[in-house]
């Protein structure tokens, strides 16, 4: 049965593939209205990332909106607002560790067996210039691959790890403890979108290696393994940097982005130091990729 959702929101596409800015919307209302939420969810599946300006909603409504999509999850490194569990503080200010970069293309938390469905992110305070975020359409990235690459990667699976990213700067004992708490996950290199059936290129900067590349078809001698698998993985990871698949959002106070983490990657551009950038993010628990 096809469910037709009546349209009340105005969605202006920002690029040919990905991203729409919604106007005539009050996110606090959407958080408490079934019909408005159904419309917003349908638009999210269509555009993959939705943007909103001038939404001075309460933190409770921010959490309520995200909870409409599903359970919320904590972040392994960043703290949550104690009064609003699940609202993760991504605060970059003069007390922050300047070296704690965030500028790598990634899907959130693919080191989990069930990576997040998506997130609802708000800009609480932004720099005058800089600090944009880029999102990438990984359906478009998959579609544009050469047919022989698509055939080659169809059966492949890959390991995703927290250790080499968040863990890498920790002392060895802490790194191992983090890895024990959040063990690696294995996912298909090409996953299928549960709502649309589209194929998605699903490797990112948490992906460490291909787990089933080393077979008779791909490897003649031992030394084929590393360059063959490593080069292929890096080629796939580089697709997120192709501008044709991207949208870039300029933040302002109380602007929001809601993204579908299953079929996008993102990159927070860290070009604003020593200006302050404070973001609050509600991450939504997702499904096991297939």
From residue 239 to residue 278, what is the string marking binding to ligand SIN with x (rule CB under 6 A)? ---------------------------x-x----------
Q: Which residues contact 281 (CB under 8 A, 6 or more apart)?
A: 75, 87, 88, 90, 119, 120, 121, 122
Instruction: Report the nearest approach of ligand SIN to the CB of residue 42 (Å).
Output: 23
Site string for ligand SIN, 80-119 (x = CB under 6 A): ----------x-----------x-----x----------x
CB closer to ligand SIN out of 242 and 269:
269
Residue count, binding to ligand SIN (CB under 6 A):
10
Is residue 250 part of the annotated active site? The answer reads: no
Instruction: Rule CB under 6 A: choose which of 118, 281, 284, 289 binds ligand SIN.
Output: 281
Task: Check: CB of residue 18 under 8 Å from CB of residue 140.
Answer: yes
Give the β-pairing of 133-137 and 80-81.
Answer: unpaired
Q: Specify the residue for token string 């003649």.
A: 220
Q: Which of residues 279, 282, 284, 289 is near ligand SIN by CB under 6 A?
A: 279
Cα separations (Å) of 17 from 13, 22, 252, 262?
Answer: 9, 16, 23, 16
How distant, in Å, are the alpha carbons of 4, 89, 103, 162 from that of 70? 22, 19, 27, 23
Looking at 108, 137, 184, 260, which residue is catalytic? 108
The yes-or-no answer on residue 108 being catalytic is yes
- State yes or no: residue 179 binds ligand SIN (CB under 6 A): no
What would you measure as the largest C-alpha separation in the chain, in angstroms? 61
- Considering the rule CB under 6 A, would residue 133 count as an interface residue with ligand SIN? yes
Provide, rounded to whole angstroms, the least separation between the CB of residue 227 and ligand SIN.
Answer: 31
CA–CA separation, 57 vs 254, rounded Å?
Answer: 8
Yes or no: say if 153 and 207 are a contact pair by the CB < 8 Å rule.
no
Q: Confirm or reject binding of residue 41 to ligand SIN (CB under 6 A).
A: no
Residues carrying an active site annotation: 106, 108, 266, 281
User: Where do contacts with ligand SIN occur on this chain (CB under 6 A)?
Assistant: 90, 102, 108, 119, 121, 133, 266, 268, 279, 281
């Amino acid at each position: 049965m096809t469910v037709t959702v009546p349209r009340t929101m105005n969605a202006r596409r920002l690029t040919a593939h990905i991203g729409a800015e919604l106007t005539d919307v009050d996110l606090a209302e959407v958080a408490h209205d079934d019909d408005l939420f159904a419309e917003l969810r349908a638009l999210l599946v269509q555009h993959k990332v939705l943007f909103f300006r001038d939404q001075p909603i309460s933190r409770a409504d921010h959490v309520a909106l995200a909870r409409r999509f599903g359970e919320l999850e904590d972040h392994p490194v960043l703290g949550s607002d104690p009064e609003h569990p699940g609202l993760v503080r991504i605060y970059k200010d003069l007390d922050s560790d300047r070296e704690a970069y965030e500028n790598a293309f990634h899907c959130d938390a693919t080191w989990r067996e069930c990576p997040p469905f998506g997130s609802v992110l708000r800009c609480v305070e932004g720099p005058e210039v800089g600090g944009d975020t880029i999102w990438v359409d990984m359906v478009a990235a998959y579609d544009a691959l050469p047919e022989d690459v698509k055939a080659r990667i169809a059966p492949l699976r890959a390991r995703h790890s927290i250790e080499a990213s968040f863990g890498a700067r920790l002392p060895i004992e802490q790194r191992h403890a983090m890895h024990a708490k959040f063990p690696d996950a294995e996912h298909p290199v090409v996953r299928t979108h549960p709502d649309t059936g589209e194929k998605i290129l699903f490797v990112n900067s948490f992906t460490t290696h291909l787990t089933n590349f080393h077979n008779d078809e791909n490897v003649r001698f031992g030394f084929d393994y590393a360059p063959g698998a490593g080069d292929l993985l890096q080629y796939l990871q580089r697709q997120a940097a192709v501008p044709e698949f991207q949208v870039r959002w300029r933040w302002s106070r109380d602007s929001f982005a809601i993204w579908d983490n299953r079929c996008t990657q993102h990159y927070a551009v860290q070009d604003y130091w020593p200006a302050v950038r404070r973001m609050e993010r509600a991450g939504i628990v997702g499904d096991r990729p297939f």
